[in-house]
């Protein structure tokens, strides 16, 4: 290629970038909103905090709110509103108005097409519908025998370490536990993570290294396409953990392909119940959900399985190990919980208490709620787009009314919740970790 063409192409790219920056700063519908100019100009500002400074953009957003007020433009396409009174206007059900997620925050990671990353309101609903009966209150109640079996196994494994002096990573154990539960909900023969030595640290590493890479893939989506073209033996040389990912994907693919093949062979209308009187989630999805053929490809369902397994295990495991950690660290809390549980647990392990019995125990409930509140899984906001209607926000600081335009194509308006910032005052967590639990919801 002649150097002139090279320079020419470079010039076009630079000009395009400059025009985009001019648009973002002066002509975008978000141009009038307060916030740092650099953040409005480029998403690299956010990338810097989330990738190089380890997911700390949420703290930078907190700083911006202190400087610019409750409504801030945090990147070229998103607004953040730090005002819990506005929460109910952002997070609405489909009956109030159409609302959409904003999948760009996880685009580029190779899971496009899953319901989690489907942002169009109607399509998202259609793809999510088959999953709902499994995670409704009734659906989860039906899973109790499965969960009880997994709990028994976890206790057996813990007991087997008793007196050995071996240190067990609680986060690994809980991830293996939650992975096994969700694995059995999804397919008939999942990997049994709790059976693996040391509770499968490779599974833990895989999930967490993927999460850490999200900002990189989101900012530079072409990276994942590049990675896909690298032969797996070379990837394995660079990072042996990549094998775990390949095994995980191949296993999910095999399961889904088998389900589709079996459906074609059987033409059955009635399915064998596998869990709580129901078939496993993916057998139901393939056989009975009524999803159109286009949504039932091996490729899409494999991604769906990977997302469900990841989302359903990492979040739950974090809450569980967080609560367990503080209980172990704080004997009075543990004693109080044991006192409360004593009567309900009579006859255990032969007789397992039901969830409806356990949910009547106030201290246990407070522990779970506090655990959920403080063990936030990702350091990321939960963006929402209002695709049709503009929203009005009245500033809590000076009463100024801000018109948030309805999201259109490139110019989406995203209003992320500020769960972390709204609930945990800076410093509390590090200064008084144990008291967080005892001084808030725990007081009764």
Residues that bind ligand HEM (CB under 6 A): 101, 115-116, 128, 182, 307-308, 311-312, 315-316, 319, 372, 377, 382
For ligand HEM, give the closer residue by CB, 40 or 301: 301
Which tokens is 80 given? 């953040």
Number of H-type helices and E-type strands within the chain: 22, 4
| Distance from C-alpha of 218 to C-alpha of 75, rounded to nearest angstrom | 14
For ligand HEM, give the closer residue by CB, 121 or 258: 121
3-state secondary structure of 251: helix
| Distance from C-alpha of 419 to C-alpha of 423, rounded to nearest angstrom | 6
For ligand HEM, give the closer residue by CB, 151 or 345: 151
Please report how close the Cβ of residue 87 comes to ligand HEM at its closest, in angstroms: 12
| Distance from C-alpha of 425 to C-alpha of 437, rounded to nearest angstrom | 14
The β-bridge partners of 130 are none
Please report how close the Cβ of residue 307 comes to ligand HEM at its closest, in angstroms: 6
| Helix extents (H) in 343-381 | 355-358, 362-374
| Distance from C-alpha of 107 to C-alpha of 150, rounded to nearest angstrom | 33
For ligand HEM, give the closer residue by CB, 315 or 394: 315
Please report how close the Cβ of residue 105 comes to ligand HEM at its closest, in angstroms: 9
CB-nearest residue to ligand HEM: 312
For ligand HEM, give the closer residue by CB, 235 or 274: 274
Q: Tell me the CA distances in angstroms from 225 to 166, 222, 398, one per residue in order.
A: 42, 5, 47
Q: What number of CA atoms fall less than 13 Å from residue 318's CA on the CB side?
A: 15
Please report how close the Cβ of residue 136 comes to ligand HEM at its closest, in angstroms: 12
Please report how close the Cβ of residue 63 comes to ligand HEM at its closest, in angstroms: 23
Please report how close the Cβ of residue 432 comes to ligand HEM at its closest, in angstroms: 23
For ligand HEM, give the closer residue by CB, 106 or 242: 106
């Amino acid at each position: 290629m002649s150097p002139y063409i090279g320079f020419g192409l470079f010039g076009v790219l630079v000009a395009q970038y400059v025009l985009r920056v001019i648009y973002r700063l002066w002509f975008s519908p978000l141009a009038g909103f307060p916030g740092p100019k650099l953040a409005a100009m480029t998403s690299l500002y956010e990338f810097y905090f989330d990738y190089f400074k380890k997911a700390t953009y949420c703290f930078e957003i907190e700083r911006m709110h202190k400087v610019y007020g409750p409504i801030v433009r945090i990147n070229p396409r998103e607004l953040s509103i730090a005002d819990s009174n506005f929460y109910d206007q952002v997070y609405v059900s489909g009956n109030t108005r159409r609302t959409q997620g904003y999948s760009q925050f996880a685009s580029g990671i190779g899971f496009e097409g899953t319901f989690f990353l489907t942002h169009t309101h109607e399509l998202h609903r259609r793809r999510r519908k088959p999953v709902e009966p499994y995670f409704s209150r009734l659906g989860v109640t039906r899973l109790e025998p499965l969960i009880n079996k997994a709990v028994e196994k976890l206790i057996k494994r813990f007991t087997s370490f008793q007196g050995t002096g071996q240190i067990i990573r609680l986060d690994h154990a809980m991830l293996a536990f939650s992975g096994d539960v969700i694995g059995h909900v999804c397919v008939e023969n999942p990997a049994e993570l709790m059976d693996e030595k040391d509770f499968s640290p490779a599974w833990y590493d895989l999930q967490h290294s993927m999460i850490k890479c999200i900002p990189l893939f989101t900012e530079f989506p072409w990276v994942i396409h590049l990675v896909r073209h690298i032969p797996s033996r070379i990837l394995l040389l660079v990072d042996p953990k990549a094998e775990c990912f390949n095994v995980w994907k191949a296993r999910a693919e095999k399961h889904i392909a088998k389900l589709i093949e079996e459906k074609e062979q059987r033409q059955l209308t009635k399915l064998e119940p596998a869990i709580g009187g129901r078939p496993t989630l993916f057998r139901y999805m393939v056989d009975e959900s009524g999803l159109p053929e286009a949504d039932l490809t091996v490729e899409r369902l494999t991604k769906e399985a990977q997302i469900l397994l990841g989302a359903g295990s990492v979040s739950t495991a974090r809450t569980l190990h967080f609560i367990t950690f503080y209980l172990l660290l704080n004997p009075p809390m543990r004693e109080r919980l044991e006192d409360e549980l004593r009567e309900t647990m009579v006859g255990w392990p032969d007789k397992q208490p039901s969830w409806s019995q356990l949910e009547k125990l106030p201290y246990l409930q407070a522990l779970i709620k506090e655990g959920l509140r403080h063990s936030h899984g990702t350091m990321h906001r939960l963006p929402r787009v209002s695709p049709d209607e503009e929203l009005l926000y009245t500033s809590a600081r000076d009463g100024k009314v801000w018109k948030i335009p309805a999201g259109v194509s490139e110019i989406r308006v995203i209003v992320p919740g500020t769960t972390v910032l709204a609930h945990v005052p800076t410093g509390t967590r590090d200064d008084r970790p144990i008291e967080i639990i005892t001084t808030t919801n725990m007081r009764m």
